[in-house]
Amino acid sequence: MSPLNLLILSLATFYAAYAVSSTHGPWRVFEWLRTHLPLGGLMACLVCLSPWLAALFYVLLLTPLAVIAYVLAVGGASVLLWRYTGGSNL
């Protein structure tokens, strides 16, 4: 795996795990998932959710659907930059 793919995988995993475990999501879909599909707390824990999402995104990177991981990686980078520069109302 190239360093660029590792960075994309890391950022996409961070963003997706953060969004699912800590935000309401569009139309409150993530909130609904956390309450109706708790999976022993997996959906509410960023650390617990990350390995599963990383595996999913790794597979996506090997297919034509890699663009999904790229888009999520850009989202992850923007959240990290925003937090680094002082943003705190997530």
- The tens digit of pLDDT for each residue in 25-41 reads 999 999 998 888 878 78
Integer angstrom CA distances of residue 39 from 8, 19, 31, 48, 79: 27, 17, 14, 11, 26
The Cα–Cα gap between 4 and 41 comes to 32
> Does the pLDDT at position 69 exceed 80?
yes
> Does the pLDDT at position 90 exceed 60?
no
> Does the pLDDT at position 58 exceed 80?
yes
Q: What is the DSSP letter of 56?
A: H
pLDDT at 67: 95
